[in-house]
Structures are given as C-alpha cells and as structure tokens.
A and B are shown apart, each in its own frame.
Chain A
Amino acid sequence: MHKFLIRSFVSSLVLLFTLTVAAVAKDVKAAFVYIGPTGDHGWTYQHDVGRKAVEAAGFKTTYVEGVPESADAERVLRQLANSGHDVIFTTSFGYMNPTNKVAKEFPNVKFEHATGYKREHPNVSTYAARFYEGRTILGTIAGTMTKSNVIGYVASFPIPEVIRGINSFTLAAQKVNPNIKTKIVWAFTWYDPGKEAEAAKALIDQGADVIAQHTDSTAIVQMAEKAGVYAFGQASDMDKFAPKAVLTSVENNWGPYYVDRVKAVANGTWNQKDTWHGIGDGMVVISDLDSQMPADLRSKVKKLQADLASGKVHSFTGPIYDQKGNLMVAEGKTADDGMLAGMMTYVKGVEGDIPK
C-alpha cells in the first residue's frame, strides 16, 4: 500500500511535468523590453503597437518598460528568460551587449535585438528599419512645397541613423529644388516636447516654412500648425495633431516582423538573421498624402514610393559628394549597407558641422 502511494505520487508528478512541458511548448511566449514608457507616442509606443499585433495573432506577450541600458537590462533579460519566455525582443540600440551576454546563458531562448549589429550567438538576431527611405520621400515633398527655400530640420543626436536621415532628406530635396537650404538644429533629446517646440519655433522664426524632425514627440507638428507652416509626422501618423501642417508621416511598422518571428519560433523555423527592411517590406510606412499637395506631386511621390519599394530607386545614388567636395558615391553606384550603417559625414548642401 505504502509503495503504491509513493509510486502513484511519483508517476503523477512525472505526468504533471510532461503536461507542463507540453503546455509550454505549445504556447509561445514573447517578451519585449522597452527603453521608454509605452506612453511616449513615439519610438516605444510603436514597438508596443507591434507587440499588440503579436497578441492579436494569438500569442502571449509581456513587456517591461523604461529599462535603462545598463546592468539593469541584463537583470531584466535574465528574469524574462528564466520565467518561460521563448523569444525576447530588445528594442533599443544600447541593449546590444546585455542581449548577447544573456543569450549565451540561455541558448534555448531566442533573442531579437533592434538596431544593433552584434550577433555573437546563434540565438541572436538583429533587425532595423530603413527609415532613410521615408526621408527621401519627405525631402522630395519638402523641396517642392517650400516657398522660402528654407527647410528646418530638428535633429536629436549626432549618430549615423540621424546623419543618414539628414543626408537622404537633403539629397532628395535638392534633386527637386537646387536652391533649398536645410537648417539643422540639434535638440540633444529624443523626447522633450517643450524643447522640441522651442527648436521648431526658432527655425520658423528664421524663415523655415517646412519643418522635418528626427525627435519623437508631436510638439513640432503642433508648433508648425500654430505658425502656419508644413511639417511631417515621425514614427506614427501625426496628422490628427496638426491636420493642416502635416503633409505625411513616416511610420515605424514593427508588427508584421514581430508576428513573423514569433510564428517562426512556434513552428520551430526560427533562424538567425540580420533584417534591414524598408518601404518594400512594409517596415517603413508612408501615411496618407495630404490633399494640400498638388496632384502631380502626389503622383510623383506615389511613384517614388513604388520605386523605392521595388529597389529601382535607391536613396543614396551617386554621384554624391561630401561637404568638402570629396566623392562619396560614384556616378551610377549606390551606397552599400556598410557605408550607410556608419555614415558620419554630411553630404554637400547640408549647412553647418556635425556637433562632436
């Protein structure tokens, strides 16, 4: 009798264990680590929209917001990996080293790091979006719509991502209007509505009649609306914040990629990849074009969008010169991904120096 009890107890434990394992294998759980609050209506907000798409596809998700890019990140990642998550998305550049470090400790958990380049272990993938393609479209619109020929650009920090955007924007604007001047103001913040609004106001007061931004809040488009100039939305469709000012927005659309990758984990088809998707793959989305734009400009933009998507047009097609007149990309060539990833020089036509 005694033996029987023990045996049945052990067998039920085994059964319970198998059941649990089976249950875990069936329900893939995805975790997301965010640098900012989901309430920023910018970078983190768009990642969270992507997470909700994963949830809508029938998977369980968790997220941790406001995780600093320090030893804290490792602690959070370890905790997520330990608590039964199968795939973890780390959505900021600074998580690069923590992600690789923790990935080594958990070979069975998949890690997806946004905007980084280190894939030290087979369970680490990286992904990023070619936002500069969107900026080619914005530059084309800005160059056509400006009357003062002064275009304002509120930039955040001097990193390749931002420099690439300024270059791509300016090249496109100059192509349609060689007389334009791009005035750049560095706000040294990703996200401070007050400061961003002040930067935009300074540009408007100095004659800019189209404002582009590489910071996250909606303060700039609202300031443009107040001042009666044009602007472009960043990260999400900002049209409702400034219906008259916003001509279009470049949206970060992470959802399809996230759903894809989580599904791959569920099917067991996940493999290490480096993804850099643009307009063609739908990671960069151009919002509706405002009807204030003349019809021929709108159709031109539509065509440009299709050509960027198909690869017929590349944002960085030679000849491209830097500010000193040195050739960067030869005629008929396009900039390769290595050059794009490390771009830290302005192209000809951009005014001023990159702050050091």
Chain B
Amino acid sequence: MIIDINFIGLIIASIMASAVPLILASCGELITERSGVLNLGVEGMMIIGAISGFALMTVTGSLIIAIFGAMLAGVLISTIFAFLTQTLITNHVATGLALTIFGIGISAMIGKNFVGIPGKEFPVLFESLKETIPLLGPILFGHSIVFYFAFALPFITSYFLKKTKIGLIVRAVGDSPESASNQGINVRLVRYACILYGGAMSGLAGAYLSMIYTPQWIENMTGGRGWIALALVVFSTWNPIKILIGAMIFGGLTIIQFHMQAIGVRIPVQFLTALPYIVTIIVLVVISRDSRKIRLSTPSSLGKSFHKDN
C-alpha cells in the first residue's frame, strides 16, 4: 500500500463531501436554538427537502428551482412547527418529534412515484484545476456550489451572531426572552424567523443528499443524519466553527473505517461503526467538565416556551 499525497487529498475530499449535509443542517439548527427554540424535527425537515428537491428536479428539470424549492419546502414544514410552538405554545420536544415522524411519512407518500428514477448530474466548479495542485487540488476544486456554501456557512453564522445587530437580537431572545421583550423586541417574530431559517437549511441539506451526494430518491434516505446534526449542535456547544470540526469527525470516521477495511487493517468493523458515537460521548464528557465555557454560549431559555402576557 503506497500512501501518496494525492490519495490523502482524495480521502479528505470524501470526508468533506460527507460533512456537507451535517454542516448545513447543524448551522440552521444552531440559529434556531440560539433563539431559544429546540426543534427536534431536523430529520423530518431534511427528508422533506430531499424529496422536494428530487421531485422538482424531475418534474421541472431545473436544478435552481429544485434547490430553492427544497429550501422552501423546509420553510413550509417548519412553519407548522413555528405555528404550534410559538403561536399555540406547544411543547418543543413533543412537537419536534412529531415533525420528524410527519416528515418521514409524507416524504414516503410523495416519493412513491419518484422511486427508480435516476437523478440529474449536478454541475461542479473548477473541475479542471483538480489536477494542478497535489494534495490541495482534490480538496479545493471540483465540488458543487452547495459544497462551497456549506464550508462558508459556519464562518458566516459566527460573524452573524457575534458582529451583527440581528445576531445580537437572536442571542438576546434565546438568553432572556423576557428582557428582550421588555426592550421592545418581538420575541415571537424573531423565533419564527429563526425556525424558518433552520427549516430552509435542513431542506437544503436534504436536497444535497438527493440531488448531489447520491442523486436518487429512496425512502428514509437521510438515514438518521438529522439526528447527528442535532447532536453536533450540542457537541459544538453552540459554536458554529466547532460544527465544522465535528462534522468532519463524524463524516471522517465512517470513511476512514472503510479505507482501513480496504487496506486490510484488522479492527472489528462493529467497533469502527460504533466509533463516531463513542467519540461523541467522549467529547461531550470532556467539554461538559468546563461548565463555565458551556454556559457562555448555551441559550439559557432553550426549549422553554415564552408567553408574552406573563
């Protein structure tokens, strides 16, 4: 087994490609959670995005309509969640779980007619530059626009939360909705917007899976990635940059274990398959020892309903 530098570049590129849906959905959920709303419906919103993107691509033939349609579908389904939790003040956890079950069911129903249809090729950028630089070539070039967007998103999200006024408002609403409300901020409106944004990002993550990563529709194709995205937000202690690292670890463990198998390294496959989850638990244990640091960015009203009249 000769390990040359381009081979490592290829592995890193595969890991990055597998991290894309996790980054997108996690960054969306992060904004939702920073506003104090816990939406456990990520898996459901993702799968709705996946079927909507694929269906629109098949029906209209337009990739642009499909991508934006998938985001819109994510927005629409998260509107249900927003209406229930913000207007009717239902429990976040129960509503979020219901949203996931609803999403999986309805996507299977819509998807019946789209099984067995091949997807379209999604254009990639800078394909010709791939061979020009060793190692970095396959990492930097030859990816879809969504890929580049996903890797920019954590930085944009971080900037948004730290440096912009709206970011400050979102954080204020998440930390103390009462104080924010007293300052004249419309808490419900801010939370609505954050939920819908989270829906759009989950929808895009789903569309990435069904249109770019594995261009096809089959039931349950998100395969639990929505739940991993949720875990990633906690893993990152609500810090977008750490989402980037976490998503690479999660995506990377699967890919590296496949490579080790192919090389013939004798490690029990079951152990390798369980590794991502073991790592999560270890990381959670390590980071949760520093409670001050966690409290710094944890939205303190997370998952609590806010009644304006109180």
Residues of A with C-beta under 8 A to B162: none
Q: List 22 A-B contacts (CB under 8 A).
A: A36-B219, A37-B220, A41-B115, A188-B269, A192-B223, A194-B18, A194-B213, A194-B223, A194-B225, A198-B254, A199-B258, A205-B7, A206-B259, A206-B263, A217-B214, A218-B118, A222-B118, A222-B214, A222-B216, A223-B214, A236-B116, A242-B118
Residues of B with C-beta under 8 A to A197: 213-214
Residues of B with C-beta under 8 A to A194: 18, 209, 213-214, 221, 223, 225
A39 CB within 8 Å of chain B: yes
Q: Kindly state the separation between the CA atoms of A192 and B209 in the bound complex, as whole angstroms.
A: 11
Interface members, chain A 240-264 (any B CB < 8 Å): 240-242
Contact: B261 with A205, CB < 8 Å? no
Binds B, one of A68-76, A178-186, A274-282, A324-332: A178-186
A352 CB within 8 Å of chain B: yes
Residues of A with C-beta under 8 A to B213: 193-194, 197
Contact: B14 with A39, CB < 8 Å? no
B273 CB within 8 Å of chain A: yes
Q: Kindly state the separation between the CA atoms of A62 and B118 in the bound complex, as whole angstroms.
A: 28
A270 CB within 8 Å of chain B: no
B266: nearest chain-A partner, CB-CB: A353
Interface members, chain A 201-224 (any B CB < 8 Å): 201-203, 205-206, 208, 217-219, 222-223
CB < 8 Å neighbour of B254 from A45, A195, A351, A352? A195
A26 CB within 8 Å of chain B: no
B107: nearest chain-A partner, CB-CB: A39
Interface members, chain B 13-45 (any A CB < 8 Å): 14, 18
Q: Kindly state the separation between the CA atoms of A214 and B24 in the bound complex, as whole angstroms.
A: 31
CB < 8 Å neighbour of A152 from B119, B254, B262? B262
B140 CB within 8 Å of chain A: no
B111 CB within 8 Å of chain A: yes
Closest Cβ–Cβ distance, residue A191 to chain B (whole Å): 8
Q: Kindly state the separation between the CA atoms of A356 and B267 in the bound complex, as whole angstroms.
A: 11
Q: Kindly state the separation between the CA atoms of A208 and B268 in the bound complex, as whole angstroms.
A: 23
Please, how many residues of chain B have a CB less than 8 angstroms from a CB on the other chain? Answer: 38
Closest Cβ–Cβ distance, residue A236 to chain B (whole Å): 7
CB < 8 Å neighbour of A202 from B118, B217, B258? B258
Q: Kindly state the separation between the CA atoms of A353 and B259 in the bound complex, as whole angstroms.
A: 15
Please judge, given known A-B contacts A39-B219, A198-B18, A222-B216, whether A185 and B108 are in contact too, CB under 8 Å. no
Closest Cβ–Cβ distance, residue B134 to chain A (whole Å): 15
Q: Kindly state the separation between the CA atoms of A187 and B223 in the bound complex, as whole angstroms.
A: 14
CB < 8 Å neighbour of B115 from A39, A199, A205? A39
Instruction: List 8 A-B pairs, minimum CB-CB distance, nearest first.
Output: A202-B258, A193-B214, A219-B214, A37-B219, A39-B219, A39-B115, A241-B118, A355-B269
A40 CB within 8 Å of chain B: yes
Number of cross-chain contacts by CB at 8 Å:
114
The chain A residues found within 8 Å of chain B, CB to CB, are 36-41, 45, 152, 183-188, 191-199, 201-203, 205-206, 208, 217-219, 222-223, 236, 240-242, 351-353, 355-356
B203-245, CB under 8 A of A: which get 1 and which 0?
0000001000111111111010100000000000000000000
Select the residue from B116, B268, B270, B273 with max chain A CB neighbours within 10 A: B116
Contact: B216 with A218, CB < 8 Å? yes
Residues of B with C-beta under 8 A to A185: 258, 261-262
Contact: A201 with B255, CB < 8 Å? yes
B112 CB within 8 Å of chain A: yes
Q: Kindly state the separation between the CA atoms of A222 and B119 in the bound complex, as whole angstroms.
A: 9
CB < 8 Å neighbour of B216 from A193, A203, A208? A193
B269-294, CB under 8 A of A: which get 1 and which 0?
11001000000000000000000000
Contact: A184 with B218, CB < 8 Å? no
CB < 8 Å neighbour of B218 from A41, A195, A208? A41
A36: nearest chain-B partner, CB-CB: B219
A205: nearest chain-B partner, CB-CB: B10
Residues of A with C-beta under 8 A to B266: 352-353
B180 CB within 8 Å of chain A: no
Residues of A with C-beta under 8 A to B221: 193-194
B185 CB within 8 Å of chain A: no
Closest Cβ–Cβ distance, residue B128 to chain A (whole Å): 15
B184 CB within 8 Å of chain A: no
Closest Cβ–Cβ distance, residue B135 to chain A (whole Å): 14
Contact: A198 with B258, CB < 8 Å? yes
Closest Cβ–Cβ distance, residue B142 to chain A (whole Å): 10
B11 CB within 8 Å of chain A: yes
Residues of B with C-beta under 8 A to A242: 118
Closest Cβ–Cβ distance, residue B215 to chain A (whole Å): 6
Residues of B with C-beta under 8 A to A219: 214, 216
Contact: B219 with A217, CB < 8 Å? no
B14: nearest chain-A partner, CB-CB: A201
Select the residue from B213, B218, B221, B264 with max chain A CB neighbours within 10 A: B218
Please judge, given known A-B contacts A188-B270, A193-B216, whether A352 and B264 are in contact too, CB under 8 Å. yes
Q: Kindly state the separation between the CA atoms of A202 and B255 in the bound complex, as whole angstroms.
A: 7
Closest Cβ–Cβ distance, residue A240 to chain B (whole Å): 5
Closest Cβ–Cβ distance, residue A202 to chain B (whole Å): 4
Identify 5 new A-B residue pairs, CB closer than 8 A, beyond the known A206-B262, A208-B262, A218-B216. A38-B115, A201-B14, A203-B258, A217-B214, A222-B118
Residues of A with C-beta under 8 A to B7: 205-206
B178-209, CB under 8 A of A: which get 1 and which 0?
00000000000000000000000000000001
Please judge, given known A-B contacts A202-B259, A206-B262, A236-B116, whether A217 and B218 are in contact too, CB under 8 Å. yes
Closest Cβ–Cβ distance, residue A162 to chain B (whole Å): 13
